[in-house]
Chains A and B, each alone.
Chain A
């Protein structure tokens, strides 16, 4: 029972981090159709921002979340305005351009902050562990779980209940018709990109106490997050939620019972097969394009 619960909790913890990272990617991809390969670097920049604010200004992790979100959102806004904006009709080139941006971000960090590992302090109030049904789990991981669910709910709420979200949905369904009704697609795309980047920054800041912070940390996240988006379907936020849960539990399970490398290879193979046979994702109903 204890092992079972702790296994579930490990899976949930991995899943919540996946959700945090994938949420931004899913929004960006779902709305603008841009595969943002620099997303992992946004996560990395968020983690470095947390480290920087902590070491230079003594700002605690919780207090720095809002500034980090704003900072990364601004960064995303700039990237969209400078580069992505010109590439909406060339989807393959967005992969290349965002990857180039990722390389630059990584290298810029390596040059300014150094290539060595950095560590971010966990908030004091969350550093003890909690007992759930006989299994112990760190309070911080639970905090991440609830915060990621909260952020998801917030995003979903924006998408569902605000006029901004309404416009977003209109654009996703048919950009030309939506534009002819006076919706400024360009501005919405930019806001979406900024929001997604901000989310990635939050994700980076939140995982920074759990993992060591390095310039390369983003690359693994972008692959995992992309798998979440593919599995969940590009048009549905609920799919993102479900698939990060599934992938989290699955990788927790596979890592526990088998060889890590082979588990990774198997998951990748599964994704390849999935793309081939169900490119719209597992959780999307067939809609008219």
Chain B
């Protein structure tokens, strides 16, 4: 045994080397560690810590208006929180299911337009007189309300549409893409192209969508007697509560059996398929949930911004979401959300001065490239591995024998299968 141990030293060094230089093996190491920690009953404890962490952050977010009375700042922070929610939605599909959706803003924009259509119809009598047409339709010589606008007189329909319509669109797109087993880069390009198509159509159909200008001059959203003023704490609370709910909902999904299968698909799609799971169905599910969250975020964005614009479905926003999630850590919902808050927060703080903003874009590009290169799991991933290192130092004697009884040098195993 001791002889064997001596022989294994160079091998171990080699394995270490491979694991350091080849990221996919590093991930494998993490899986290995995860298995070890499950054996030690750590998974449940970790989930509990996670829930506590999520709750603490959400509580902090909910408490902000108590200390802050400035309406302008509250509005700004509410906007950041909406972006945080959008980041959560992308983290769900990109980090957990491995579907890089470069068109996440598509569903965001659809949700935002649903809300805007509903709020626009609330203002109609005030702005355009008896015949009750939205102002931009009058300017475009539209004589009667198009059929797809009429149901938006009902607020309930408007809210439901803002969530369900994006989900349905995503399900349809997902069905088209994933049933054909289109994956990776090609799926990403399709989502991007689909978003641009929707944006072009919205811009082109000016008479029905307001074209380039979008839908402006909206009424205020109200529900159960509360009116949500964009510059008041009510809107902030609305956004914060929605964010909290989605965050925990998304966390629950990732911890469920479905969530685990989705993560397995991300890591080894074919293997899951061989086990008999309908891979496409799971992907469509998570893609639609992600879209529904993005739609909700879009609706809230309209409430906070008081307009809807085709830029909400634009490539710049969509790619910004990818940046936030990448910086924050795509495999952590909380990390993705905080990534969005940090990046947009810094951007907002610097936007006061023109030159700073310009340099900031440059720095952000650099930061992004560096994160992709060195921190594929983002800030959250860096923290997680730090915490793990810390954790490993404490119960070291208990852990060691477990690692020794793992006879499979995972480095070589992977190499032979690739």
Contacts and interface: CB of A to CB of B under 8 A. Distances in A.
Interface string B97-128: 00010100000000000000000000000000
Interface stretch (A19-27, A199-207, A259-267): A259-267
Contacts of B180: 276-277
A101 B190 contact: no
Contact of A279 (B182, B188, B369, B376): B182
Interface residues of B, number: 40
Contact of B189 (A104, A261, A275): A275
A26 B355 CA distance: 37
Contact of A264 (B176, B200, B323): B200
A271 B193 contact: yes
Interface string A81-92: 001001101111
B365 A275 contact: no
Interface in B176-190: 176-177, 180, 182, 184-186, 188-190
Interface residues of A, number: 39
B176 A89 contact: no
A92 B188 contact: yes
A276 B23 contact: no
B203 A96 contact: no
Contact of A89 (B24, B186, B200): B24
Nearest to A261: B204
B172 interface: no
B142 interface: no
Nearest to A223: B196
Given A35-B185, A275-B190, A103 B361 contact: yes
B382 interface: no
Contacts of A279: 182, 186
B227 interface: no
A275 B182 CA distance: 8
A268 B199 CA distance: 12
Contacts of A259: 204
Most B C-beta atoms less than 10 A away, residue of A93, A95, A110: A95
A96 B185 contact: no
Contacts of A271: 193
B55 interface: no
B201 interface: yes
B201 A101 contact: no
Contacts of A100: 323, 365-366, 368-369, 372
B347 to A, nearest CB: 13
A35 B192 CA distance: 14
B359 interface: yes
A86 B369 CA distance: 11
A226 interface: yes
Contacts of A104: 362, 365-366, 369
A111 interface: yes
Interface in A259-289: 259, 261-262, 264-265, 268-269, 271-272, 275-277, 279
Contact of B362 (A108, A261, A268, A275): A108
Contacts of B197: 265, 268-269, 272
B376 A93 contact: yes
Contact of B373 (A87, A223, A275): A87
A276 B189 CA distance: 11
A97 interface: yes
A99 interface: yes
Contact of B196 (A87, A96, A268): A268
6 contacts: A90-B376, A91-B185, A262-B204, A265-B200, A272-B193, A276-B190
Report, nearest first, the 3 A-B pairs whose CB atoms are least far apart: A104-B365, A103-B365, A100-B368
